[in-house]
Structure 1
């Protein structure tokens, strides 16, 4: 089976059950294997996703911010090893935090998105960049700068301010003038939440059905996680990163070199499937995205989704496995079989290898539902579709994402345990308290 046939089979299997939401672009050895939209960009008006749909890309933005800093370094307008208070004179810096510390997430500055009131309150309120930096600049560092890795959008907020102070331009204008326009990325920019962006998808979450996400004010993200783009523009970006068009090759190599752990400057450099991979994911307000660059293998995978529960980081690697001929598990076709014994399956099931994770199985309107927490501990609720019934065993799969549950029952019909395969392919056994 050819690589095109394998990837088309994978796409057909997942899309057939409605598990793909967003846009996917896969380029391999100079050929585009996939460039397609899935699901709806706007559910209220039934607008489909296409390769031209714009998505908020979240922390994939950090790679662009890092590029801006390295460009200014190349122009000798700053030095990446300078202390940040050289450019932000009102920032207290007794520990000697440098620009490079911020680039590599080794500054020790507390991450403002991890503050207790950020998700319930702060993210909904408008803020200037100076106000945002003021909110964390007096906080105690979590560790000595340069001593270890600690992911922090606060460091990238500082980099955003340095870019603006050094260039004399807003972050948005600098991105346009120095990256987007020179490369022809006309569908990429900074989303301020005010201006109407034609072709922009809406972001969604899920609870029994697609729902709106909590509002996030877009005055905050900027150079930390505030850009929007398309899969096609990000392929242009990918190609530019292989050339010296907007930055010298020497500095490009420096930017891609990990400092502590696997984090470089706006990029993770990791081993995926036994191959070197430059990557970063991003999530914001109903959008979840992944960008994989297997540079040595000439493979680029870009998956932008406007459904936050779509497991793009797993699916993008599944696509890579498919291309590299590693084994992948395809979801079965969601063809419902008759089943009426719903009440016998309800209850709270505790996973044997997890101390804080449980599965809540409930019924509503003669349908069975699974409630389970996902990334960041957020709960989601999915309908369960019965697809197979055998003596002592009934199998369900979820809607919206591919998860697999098998209820194993005694001869009397009582559930003894369930086998739960989550959307990352991890199999676990679950029991009720009385089981």
Structure 2
């Protein structure tokens, strides 16, 4: 009897300890309720530990026209997180002797500049020097149109190399579009079939696949941007990004994917070490991020109005996954910080989103063209009703949030603009940098 009582007591204490270790979800729920109420976040999140989901939350709508509310199984375009899938597939192909990381690009696409010097590994870690076609102004004119492999190779090959292959790292979507085609040639199958066979089926991913045109009847999200109201974004045709950005998923499936990747369910531990090895900040389809003293591996993503983030902390097998279908002035980095703070029992605050209010006439004192000798850009400040807009050289315009008198910010990029109308100056603060701009007269 004593032994039975001791065993029962031990089980009871173990259960109490496990319960005590799970943070209360109330505050995190309140955090997302505040974001939703203020149109700061639309999407889904998930946290897992040791392969078990410990928190999920979905807010906002995945189809504003029909009023369809986002749920745990709503599928989102994940943008460049697709590159982690593609990199894992390339490593798998190398394990199966379908290709070698030392193979040169001219074996497949000799018309690409410097193809004889560029290896598959160079493309995996963005050291190829191949120009990023999505940086070109004309990209926006064809992004919604289907493209064949031949058409994409022509687009990618027409630009000269940006630098000598292997000499440095610079992010380029072109690398992973080409890697998608190389995988298709290696396996003699469409990319869609390869990712299903090598990743989706082995891991049992129910809501992950190579994307096509959005179908909300299949619980797939449209993407939007918020500037005073939610506006639907144009759709990229998925024949263009391929393995660079064409995957669709949910945060719980993304967690299963990266948990499985690090558990050796897709590639060997030796191949995973290759993926994790950083060169000039670039791994093979992976990047690192820090939270306190903890290091994570993962990738961010962005396509149309979608934003996503996936981070895996190998020390304690913790994963956070964020998928959003609403581009706003609130950063996914802030959302990630709240999720991690809750997970690791650190303090975090629920923002109140109090902002200054201006009439359209009051914004006139800020509008104009601002230049500086400190960095090679100029910034045009305009207005859209009662919203101040900023546009840097060669970039799209973005909305500014009025934080307090004379101070505006753009959360997704961590930009703070402080205006000094009397001096015709504007102070730009970003990532620790402080730059003074002067308004043209």
- Do structure 1's residue 126 and structure 2's residue 146 form an aligned pair? yes
- Do structure 1's residue 369 and structure 2's residue 406 form an aligned pair? no
TM-score, scaled to structure 1: 0.81
Provide the rounded CA distance (Å) in 1 between the counterparts of 2:64 and 2:235.
17
Provide the rounded CA distance (Å) in 1 between the counterparts of 2:387 and 2:105.
51
- Do structure 1's residue 7 and structure 2's residue 28 form an aligned pair? yes
Q: Say if 1:174 and 1:357 are closer, same or farther in 2 by CA, change over 3 A.
A: same
1:344-387, Cα deviation, whole Å (9 max, x unpaired): 5653168999974466567x5xxx433345998432447xxxxx
Q: Say if 1:423 and 1:162 are closer, same or farther in 2 by CA, change over 3 A.
A: same
Partner of 1:111: 132
RMSD: 3.2
Task: Tell me the secondary structure at the aligned position of residue 84 of structure 2.
Answer: helix
Partner of 1:57: 78
Provide the rounded CA distance (Å) in 1 between the counterparts of 2:393 and 2:324.
15
Q: Say if 1:13 and 1:33 are closer, same or farther in 2 by CA, change over 3 A.
A: farther
Provide the rounded CA distance (Å) in 2 between the counterparts of 1:340 and 1:286.
27
Aligned length: 397
Shift of 1:14: 2.7
Shift of 1:182: 1.5
| Bigger mean CA deviation after superposition, 352-361 or 312-321 | 352-361
Partner of 2:107: 86
TM-score, scaled to structure 2: 0.80
- Do structure 1's residue 210 and structure 2's residue 226 form an aligned pair? no
Q: Say if 1:4 and 1:75 are closer, same or farther in 2 by CA, change over 3 A.
A: same
Provide the rounded CA distance (Å) in 2 between the counterparts of 1:219 and 1:340.
44
Would the aligned equivalents of 1:292 and 1:316 in 2 still touch at CA under 8 Å?
no
Shift of 1:26: 1.6
Would the aligned equivalents of 2:58 and 2:70 in 1 still touch at CA under 8 Å?
yes
Partner of 1:201: 221
Would the aligned equivalents of 1:193 and 1:219 in 2 still touch at CA under 8 Å?
no
- Do structure 1's residue 40 and structure 2's residue 29 form an aligned pair? no
The answer for unaligned runs of 5 or more in structure 2 is 1-19, 425-441
Provide the rounded CA distance (Å) in 2 between the counterparts of 1:24 and 1:114.
29
Shift of 1:214: 3.0
Shift of 1:34: 2.4
Provide the rounded CA distance (Å) in 1 between the counterparts of 2:350 and 2:379.
25
Q: Say if 1:225 and 1:8 are closer, same or farther in 2 by CA, change over 3 A.
A: same
- Do structure 1's residue 156 and structure 2's residue 176 form an aligned pair? yes
Provide the rounded CA distance (Å) in 1 between the counterparts of 2:421 and 2:389.
15
Shift of 1:89: 5.8
Match of 1:431 among 417, 420, 428: 420
Provide the rounded CA distance (Å) in 2 between the counterparts of 1:233 and 1:31.
12
Provide the rounded CA distance (Å) in 2 between the counterparts of 1:341 and 1:134.
49
The answer for unaligned runs of 5 or more in structure 1 is 383-402, 408-417
Shift of 1:94: 5.4
Would the aligned equivalents of 2:114 and 2:161 in 1 still touch at CA under 8 Å?
no
Partner of 1:406: 404
1:229-263, Cα deviation, whole Å (9 max, x unpaired): 111211210220121222111111111211x2221
Would the aligned equivalents of 1:129 and 1:157 in 2 still touch at CA under 8 Å?
no
| Bigger mean CA deviation after superposition, 179-188 or 312-321 | 312-321
- The structure carrying a bigger helix percent of its residues is 2
